[in-house]
Amino acid sequence: MVLFEALNAHGIHYAADASSPYSQVRGDRSAVDHIQYPAELLDSRMGDCDDCTVLYCSLLENLNIATALIDHPDHILMMFDTGISVARFGYGFSLDEERFVVRDDRFWLPVEVTVLGEGSFAKAWDLGAQATTRLAQAGELRITGVREVWPQYPYAIPESDLEISLPAARQ
Protein backbone atom coordinates (compact mmCIF):
# COMPACT_ATOMS: atom_id res chain seq x y z
CA MET A 1 0.00 0.00 0.00
CA VAL A 2 2.79 2.41 0.89
CA LEU A 3 4.62 1.68 -2.37
CA PHE A 4 1.47 2.34 -4.39
CA GLU A 5 0.95 5.69 -2.71
CA ALA A 6 4.65 6.51 -3.17
CA LEU A 7 4.23 5.95 -6.93
CA ASN A 8 1.22 8.29 -6.84
CA ALA A 9 3.34 10.89 -5.02
CA HIS A 10 6.11 10.46 -7.59
CA GLY A 11 3.60 11.32 -10.33
CA ILE A 12 3.33 7.97 -12.11
CA HIS A 13 0.30 7.95 -14.42
CA TYR A 14 -1.38 5.35 -16.59
CA ALA A 15 -1.54 6.09 -20.30
CA ALA A 16 -2.93 3.69 -22.90
CA ASP A 17 -0.32 2.31 -25.31
CA ALA A 18 -1.25 3.78 -28.67
CA SER A 19 1.33 1.90 -30.77
CA SER A 20 0.67 -1.70 -29.72
CA PRO A 21 -1.95 -1.97 -26.99
CA TYR A 22 -2.00 -5.17 -24.99
CA SER A 23 -5.56 -5.81 -26.19
CA GLN A 24 -4.31 -6.11 -29.78
CA VAL A 25 -1.11 -8.11 -29.23
CA ARG A 26 -2.20 -10.37 -26.35
CA GLY A 27 -2.64 -13.55 -28.41
CA ASP A 28 -0.11 -12.82 -31.16
CA ARG A 29 3.21 -14.50 -30.40
CA SER A 30 4.88 -12.62 -33.26
CA ALA A 31 3.90 -9.19 -31.91
CA VAL A 32 6.36 -7.13 -29.93
CA ASP A 33 5.17 -4.73 -27.28
CA HIS A 34 7.75 -2.51 -25.65
CA ILE A 35 7.57 -2.80 -21.89
CA GLN A 36 9.44 -0.09 -20.04
CA TYR A 37 12.02 -1.03 -17.48
CA PRO A 38 11.02 0.21 -14.03
CA ALA A 39 13.68 2.95 -14.14
CA GLU A 40 12.34 4.13 -17.51
CA LEU A 41 8.81 4.39 -16.14
CA LEU A 42 10.03 6.19 -13.02
CA ASP A 43 11.76 8.67 -15.34
CA SER A 44 8.95 9.12 -17.91
CA ARG A 45 6.18 8.85 -15.28
CA MET A 46 3.76 7.54 -17.95
CA GLY A 47 3.08 3.91 -18.75
CA ASP A 48 0.44 1.53 -20.00
CA CYS A 49 -1.00 -1.41 -18.06
CA ASP A 50 1.97 -3.71 -18.64
CA ASP A 51 4.50 -0.97 -17.78
CA CYS A 52 2.75 -0.09 -14.51
CA THR A 53 2.28 -3.77 -13.64
CA VAL A 54 5.97 -4.53 -14.19
CA LEU A 55 7.01 -1.54 -12.09
CA TYR A 56 4.76 -2.44 -9.15
CA CYS A 57 5.71 -6.12 -9.29
CA SER A 58 9.42 -5.27 -9.39
CA LEU A 59 9.15 -2.99 -6.36
CA LEU A 60 7.33 -5.66 -4.35
CA GLU A 61 9.65 -8.45 -5.50
CA ASN A 62 12.62 -6.36 -4.36
CA LEU A 63 11.03 -6.43 -0.91
CA ASN A 64 10.73 -10.24 -1.20
CA ILE A 65 6.94 -10.07 -1.62
CA ALA A 66 5.84 -12.63 -4.22
CA THR A 67 3.79 -11.26 -7.12
CA ALA A 68 1.77 -12.72 -9.97
CA LEU A 69 0.36 -11.49 -13.27
CA ILE A 70 -3.33 -11.81 -14.08
CA ASP A 71 -4.06 -12.11 -17.79
CA HIS A 72 -7.37 -10.34 -18.26
CA PRO A 73 -9.01 -10.10 -21.71
CA ASP A 74 -7.54 -7.00 -23.37
CA HIS A 75 -5.58 -6.15 -20.22
CA ILE A 76 -3.11 -7.28 -17.57
CA LEU A 77 -3.09 -6.64 -13.84
CA MET A 78 -1.26 -8.07 -10.85
CA MET A 79 -1.62 -9.46 -7.37
CA PHE A 80 0.71 -10.01 -4.44
CA ASP A 81 1.05 -12.51 -1.62
CA THR A 82 -0.20 -11.05 1.67
CA GLY A 83 1.71 -13.65 3.67
CA ILE A 84 -1.55 -14.71 5.34
CA SER A 85 -2.25 -18.43 5.12
CA VAL A 86 -5.73 -19.83 4.59
CA ALA A 87 -5.29 -21.76 7.85
CA ARG A 88 -5.33 -18.47 9.79
CA PHE A 89 -8.77 -17.63 8.41
CA GLY A 90 -10.48 -19.89 10.91
CA TYR A 91 -8.70 -18.43 13.94
CA GLY A 92 -10.53 -15.15 14.26
CA PHE A 93 -8.72 -13.49 11.38
CA SER A 94 -11.41 -11.62 9.47
CA LEU A 95 -11.22 -11.22 5.69
CA ASP A 96 -13.78 -10.50 3.01
CA GLU A 97 -12.83 -13.49 0.83
CA GLU A 98 -14.17 -11.85 -2.34
CA ARG A 99 -11.44 -9.21 -2.10
CA PHE A 100 -8.65 -11.81 -2.26
CA VAL A 101 -7.48 -14.67 -4.47
CA VAL A 102 -6.48 -17.91 -2.75
CA ARG A 103 -3.29 -19.26 -4.29
CA ASP A 104 -0.86 -21.77 -2.80
CA ASP A 105 -3.00 -21.83 0.39
CA ARG A 106 -2.39 -18.11 0.94
CA PHE A 107 -4.41 -14.96 0.42
CA TRP A 108 -3.22 -12.83 -2.51
CA LEU A 109 -4.40 -9.27 -3.01
CA PRO A 110 -5.29 -8.23 -6.61
CA VAL A 111 -4.36 -4.69 -7.68
CA GLU A 112 -5.42 -2.69 -10.73
CA VAL A 113 -2.38 -0.48 -11.25
CA THR A 114 -3.93 1.59 -14.04
CA VAL A 115 -5.42 3.89 -11.40
CA LEU A 116 -1.93 5.17 -10.59
CA GLY A 117 -2.06 8.94 -10.66
CA GLU A 118 -5.85 8.99 -10.39
CA GLY A 119 -6.77 6.88 -7.42
CA SER A 120 -5.81 5.44 -4.10
CA PHE A 121 -4.55 1.98 -3.23
CA ALA A 122 -8.05 1.19 -1.90
CA LYS A 123 -9.55 1.95 -5.32
CA ALA A 124 -6.86 -0.12 -7.08
CA TRP A 125 -7.61 -3.03 -4.75
CA ASP A 126 -11.39 -2.71 -5.27
CA LEU A 127 -11.00 -2.74 -9.05
CA GLY A 128 -8.55 -5.65 -8.89
CA ALA A 129 -10.93 -7.64 -6.70
CA GLN A 130 -13.85 -6.95 -9.04
CA ALA A 131 -11.82 -8.04 -12.07
CA THR A 132 -10.60 -11.27 -10.48
CA THR A 133 -14.08 -12.14 -9.21
CA ARG A 134 -15.51 -11.64 -12.71
CA LEU A 135 -12.74 -13.71 -14.30
CA ALA A 136 -13.07 -16.50 -11.73
CA GLN A 137 -16.84 -16.69 -12.20
CA ALA A 138 -16.35 -16.94 -15.96
CA GLY A 139 -13.67 -19.63 -15.52
CA GLU A 140 -11.10 -17.32 -17.15
CA LEU A 141 -8.82 -16.42 -14.25
CA ARG A 142 -5.28 -17.03 -15.61
CA ILE A 143 -2.48 -16.38 -13.15
CA THR A 144 1.27 -16.53 -13.75
CA GLY A 145 3.57 -16.31 -10.76
CA VAL A 146 6.45 -13.95 -11.51
CA ARG A 147 8.98 -16.15 -9.71
CA GLU A 148 7.76 -19.21 -11.61
CA VAL A 149 8.81 -17.72 -14.95
CA TRP A 150 12.16 -16.24 -13.89
CA PRO A 151 14.09 -19.24 -15.31
CA GLN A 152 12.36 -18.74 -18.67
CA TYR A 153 12.70 -14.93 -18.67
CA PRO A 154 15.92 -14.03 -16.85
CA TYR A 155 16.50 -10.60 -15.39
CA ALA A 156 18.00 -8.10 -17.83
CA ILE A 157 19.85 -4.93 -16.98
CA PRO A 158 18.88 -1.95 -19.14
CA GLU A 159 21.61 0.02 -20.81
CA SER A 160 20.76 3.40 -19.39
CA ASP A 161 22.19 6.18 -17.31
CA LEU A 162 18.82 7.41 -16.05
CA GLU A 163 18.84 9.28 -12.80
CA ILE A 164 15.51 9.43 -11.02
CA SER A 165 14.71 12.56 -9.07
CA LEU A 166 12.63 11.87 -6.00
CA PRO A 167 9.69 14.09 -5.08
CA ALA A 168 10.20 16.60 -2.29
CA ALA A 169 9.16 15.52 1.18
CA ARG A 170 5.79 16.75 2.35
CA GLN A 171 5.74 18.91 5.43
Instruction: State how many domains the chain has.
Output: 1
Per-block average pLDDT, block size 10, for the chain (171 residues)? 89 77 57 78 90 95 96 88 82 72 94 93 95 93 94 76 67 54
- Give me the pLDDT at residue 151, please: 87
CA distance 130 to 100: 10
Residue 74 in any domain: the answer is: yes
Residue 24 in any domain: the answer is: no
Residue 159 in any domain: the answer is: no
Residue 28 in any domain: the answer is: no
- Give me the pLDDT at residue 18, please: 61
Identify the domain containing residue 143 by its residue range. 2-16+36-149
Residue 129 in any domain: the answer is: yes
